[in-house]
Structure 1
Amino acid sequence: MNKLVALALAASMSSVAYAASETYVIDTNHTKPRFEYSHFGYSNQVSRFDTVKGTITLDRAAKTGAVDVEIDAKSVDTGYALFNEHIQGEDFFDTAKYPTITFKSTKVKFDGDKVAAVDGNLTIKGITKPVTLTVTSMMCMPHPMAKKDACGANVTAQVKRSEFNMAKYVPYVGDDVTLSIPVESIKQ
């Protein structure tokens, strides 16, 4: 009997959760966008950004949403302080002139009840290009420590750095860049 009551309660709570648009704030401690590229064909190098902020809005009943993200380009972490400074220079991120990277969605695509992809505009060095973020996994549930609803996902995309005026050393250092973004967010 207790199992039936718990199931009924859970079902009623889940229908409430899908009743309206919900806004989640990105948890910067658990959201570290990574980028990967070929380094002279020897290996793929992986670096990340440590400072990210933004919001994710979802209306799962209407199957709509929005994503608005800002990355501090100066927070790039290659694992090597001297190289961090190098790629913040004019040939690459040019963080003195363009301190932020942004992504603003134009459409959130659902597959059933889950977000499958997010189309939007990625801006790096003042250049904006359309990009599709593919959601490889996503889960929303009550956060056990924050005691609030939370959503998390793993997201990937492919871009060409030459399209953002960062083509130095192409083709020796790969033009194709894989973005891998683990994201966690807490409902407000």
Structure 2
Amino acid sequence: MKKISFFALASCFASSLFAAPETYVIESSHTFPRFEYSHLGYSTQVQRFNKTTGKITLDRAAGTGSVDVIIDAKSVDTGYALFDTHIQGTDFFDTATFPTITFKSDQLTFEGDKLTSVSGDLTIKGITQKVKLNVTSFHCMPHPILKKEACGANASTKIKRSDFAMGKHTPYVSDEVTLTIPVEAVKE
């Protein structure tokens, strides 16, 4: 009897050590990437994108995974329709030619089972730059309404507009932009 109990316990422990990666689908009604910049030194303006899709794969036990985010650049929302149209033009996002902004990870960093940063390729206006998103919060638990496992995080980085051929009006409008992605995703 002791042998059976030992094997049952060992089997349960081993299966938790070799847990398979879990895939989560980005929940677009709770994922609104935003960007902040200094406007003429008067104020920090905060704008957002209203449509985001993608998948996140996590193996918290192994400390591995991947993040793929697709932002609809045409969904930019400044709160002012005329300005939305202006920054979708060729001097800025050029959404007629480049309708999406993408982030594709190449490394996730964990401390224990907590995600602390995600590095990868950010592509805006057809230009790809390496960035590191610092994760300021990370939490997984069963979703109380959907009754499925869900994870959420806030990740941010600083980029330069000029690195993505969008430097018009610098230095009056700051070249440095803080990009923040608050994300929620539900297990497939």
Q: What TM-score do you get using the length of structure 2 for normalisation?
A: 0.91
Instruction: Output one character per residue of 1:45-98: Cα deviation in whole Å (capped at 9) or x when no partner.
Output: 000000000000001111101000100000000000000000000000000000
Aligned equivalents of 1:71 and 1:17: distance in 2?
34
Q: Is the 8 A contact 1:18 1:60 kept in 2?
A: no
Counterparts of 1:86-101 in structure 2 under 5 Å?
86-101=86-101
Q: Is the 8 A contact 2:17 2:61 kept in 1?
A: no
Distance verdict in 2 for CA 1:16–1:141, change over 3 Å: farther
Aligned equivalents of 2:137 and 2:17: distance in 1?
20
Which residue is 1:104 aligned to? 104
Aligned equivalents of 2:36 and 2:72: distance in 1?
18
In structure 1, what residue type is equivalent to 2:101? I
Aligned equivalents of 2:155 and 2:177: distance in 1?
14
Q: CA deviation at 1:18?
A: 7.4
Q: CA deviation at 1:19?
A: 1.5
2:179 equivalent to 1:162: no
Aligned-residue identity in percent: 66
Q: Is the 8 A contact 1:136 1:153 kept in 2?
A: yes
Name the larger-Rg structure.
2
Unpaired runs of 5+ in structure 1? 1-11
Aligned equivalents of 1:119 and 1:154: distance in 2?
14
Q: Is the 8 A contact 1:18 1:59 kept in 2?
A: no
Aligned equivalents of 1:103 and 1:180: distance in 2?
12
Unpaired runs of 5+ in structure 2? 1-11
2:53 equivalent to 1:56: no
Aligned equivalents of 1:78 and 1:149: distance in 2?
33
RMSD of the TM alignment (CA)?
Answer: 1.5
Q: CA deviation at 1:111?
A: 1.2
Which residue is 1:20 aligned to? 20
Q: CA deviation at 1:132?
A: 0.3
Q: CA deviation at 1:169?
A: 0.2
Counterpart secondary structure, 2:138: strand
Aligned equivalents of 1:26 and 1:17: distance in 2?
26
Distance verdict in 2 for CA 1:67–1:158, change over 3 Å: same
Counterpart secondary structure, 2:156: strand
Q: Structure 1: which 4+ aligned runs deviate by more than 2 Å?
A: 15-18
Aligned equivalents of 2:17 and 2:85: distance in 1?
45
In structure 2, what residue type is equivalent to 1:174? S
Aligned equivalents of 2:116 and 2:170: distance in 1?
32
Number of residue pairs matched? Answer: 176
Aligned equivalents of 1:121 and 1:17: distance in 2?
30
Q: Is the 8 A contact 2:150 2:186 kept in 1?
A: yes
Q: What TM-score do you get using the length of structure 1 for normalisation?
A: 0.91
Q: CA deviation at 1:116?
A: 0.4
